[in-house]
Structure 1
Amino acid sequence: MKKILLPTDFSANALNAICYAMELFAGEECLFFLLNTYTPVLYDNEYLTYSSTQPTLTEIYRNKSQQGLERVRRRILRKYKNENHHFELVSSFNLLSDELKEIVKEKKIDLVVMGTKGATGAEEILFGTHTVHAIKKTRCPLLAIPAHFEYRPPKNILFPTDYETEIPGVLKIMRNIVDTHNSAINVLHVYSELNLTESQAGRKKALVRAFKDNKLNFFSITDKTVTRAIYDFTEENEVDMLVMVNNKHSFFENLLFRPVVNEIGFNVKVPFLVIPSNKKS
């Protein structure tokens, strides 16, 4: 049974991501962990005079969190009647990124699915702050769903790679999605050198072997930044999901964690699956 973690702050954006997960894994048996974290404000002097019969701020926040999770669960069950889907509610007094890290390890989570609003204006980056922290701290694949994105089957997947990561071992969740939805994988290599190194060529062959039963299309682009190449490809071709391996020694972290609006105003408009590499610490 697949274990999927669904963080929610009870916003429409979070609910949209949860609905995407219900659709994406409609045909699979899954245990979904609905997670809400809360951090009550600091107590002020006036509040410290409360009667011992009154609930504490922590209790108030915990009750609101638990009630909100139950409302989300009921809403999902009304909209998606699926006997293969099971739910566990988790309400935690913790920071979201810290709780994600703990639950992923404790529950052996296969995938985190969460909504992201991204950022706007001069400080624009690919994701909002919560999503970036989650990606940096969580040793687990994470699927970020843009706000207002309506579900459609991921028939066309864009997979940019520099062939610097050992491929087959880290792509289990991608293989699952590809096999379930009969997806085509568009492999995008942005390069400055004319030829692949011996190790890069070996990893490309490993990718071909790993997805030998699937449709693979290879694209090589030069004289462009990775960001521009991804942007242009998504503008010129139908893309339903973007998948990247978070190898801190590759182009990924520069792409993910630096402002890019001054370059092309790039923003992720489709679900973005981020897969940690085996070597990432």
Structure 2
Amino acid sequence: MKKILVPTDFSKEAENALKVASHIARKNNSEIYLLHLLEIPLTNVDAINANADVPEVMFFMKMAHRKFKEILASEFLEGLTVNEVVKPDVSFSSIAEIAKEQDIDLIVMGSHGSSGFEEVFIGSNAEKVVRSSHVPVLVIKNEHEDFSVEDIVFASDFKKDNKETYRQATEFAMSFGAQIHLLMVNTPGNFTTTTKAKERIDEFIKDYSFRNYTITVYNDDSVEKGILNFAKDIDADLIGISTHGRQGIAHFFNGSISEDLVNHAKRPVITFKI
């Protein structure tokens, strides 16, 4: 985990995400790429592309650079390598593309938490980042003075198409020395015996050398409730879930899991692309 991308609009939520990114960067000797997308009208963006000197655009560019310098002076970034990335853009759907360009390993984003992805600090576009990103996306709800991860819930139906996400989760866990709690939620409409569930999980993880894990089969009214309640029961530091890309979190597991999981979770959530 050498490169961490943090999109920012210089809000409190963005600062919370940057603080978390700084903790991760120190643990992994990583660089931070602080990204600010300038919301500039299309006509002005075209002008920039044509190398024209647009006063309004230049003003916003200078303001962004000034705010970046103020952030660099923050004590929590002392000693870290922070790269400034300023892009004139009218949407945030290009964050995943920028992550590819910069060979990013992890995206860390802030969220208001009250309305989840519909009210994430950069408008409603964080959901687009989760859906389009090929690297893990860590969504931060609150301020963390010391972001330590000891217990990670990895919830899955443990079918073969989720194996790549588990590999990513184990790499993230190892970077923190954390334990993964493998969770399969039983619901009234989709019930599996404990014996069969554990057999499926054992088969799912048998090819991996990661051994710092527990296995839990949890009964609840819905998958979302099961994940949230189990995470609360063990006081987990982080919830890990899978996303099918363009279909988003709404097509997680065998059936469907709503974005309420992210909306209602009070703890950080990290998504992994299937």
TM-score tier (shorter): 0.7 to 0.9
**What pairs up with 1:142-153 in 2 under 5 angstroms?**
142-153=137-148
Letter in 2 for 1:237: I
Quote the residue 2:252 is aligned against: 250
Q: Distance in 2 between matches of 1:101 and 1:118?
A: 22
Q: Distance in 1 between matches of 2:254 and 2:270?
A: 12
SS in 2 for 1:19: helix
Q: Distance in 1 between matches of 2:135 and 2:216?
A: 28
Deviations 1:153-180 (A, max 9, x none): 1101111111124455334543233223
Quote the residue 2:26 is aligned against: 26
Higher helix share: 2
Q: Is 1:37–1:94's contact at 8 Å kept on the other side of the alignment?
A: yes
Deviations 1:64-106 (A, max 9, x none): 122222222232xx33433xx4221111111453331221121
Quote the residue 1:184 is aligned against: 179
Q: Distance in 1 between matches of 2:26 and 2:83?
A: 17
- Tell me by how many angstroms 1:125 deviates: 6.2
- Tell me by how many angstroms 1:195 deviates: 4.6
Letter in 2 for 1:222: N
Letter in 1 for 2:273: P
> 2:236 matched to 1:236?
no
Query: How high is the TM-score relative to the length of structure 2?
Result: 0.79
Q: Is 2:157–2:254's contact at 8 Å kept on the other side of the alignment?
A: no
CA distance change for structure 1 residues 172 and 70 in 2, over 3 Å: closer, same or farther? farther
**What pairs up with 1:1-281 in 2 under 5 angstroms?**
2-40=2-40, 56-75=55-74, 78-82=75-79, 85-120=80-115, 128=120, 129-191=124-186, 192-195=190-193, 201=199, 204-214=202-212, 216-247=213-244, 248=247, 249-251=251-253, 254-257=256-259, 267-277=264-274
Q: Distance in 2 between matches of 1:8 and 1:210?
A: 36
Would you say how many aligned residue pairs link Structure 1 and Structure 2?
Answer: 254
- Tell me by how many angstroms 1:5 deviates: 0.5
CA distance change for structure 1 residues 126 and 268 in 2, over 3 Å: closer, same or farther? farther
SS in 1 for 2:28: coil
SS in 1 for 2:15: helix
Query: How high is the TM-score relative to the length of structure 1?
Result: 0.77
CA distance change for structure 1 residues 125 and 17 in 2, over 3 Å: closer, same or farther? closer
Answer with 1 or 2: which has the greater Rg.
1
SS in 2 for 1:224: coil
- Tell me by how many angstroms 1:234 deviates: 2.6
Please list every run of 5 or more consecutive structure 1 residues that lacks an aligned counterpart in the other structure. Answer: 44-53
- Tell me by how many angstroms 1:7 deviates: 0.7
Deviations 1:25-51 (A, max 9, x none): 3122212111001113588xxxxxxxx
- Tell me by how many angstroms 1:15 deviates: 0.8
Please list every run of 5 or more consecutive structure 2 residues that lacks an aligned counterpart in the other structure. Answer: 44-52
- Tell me by how many angstroms 1:223 deviates: 4.5
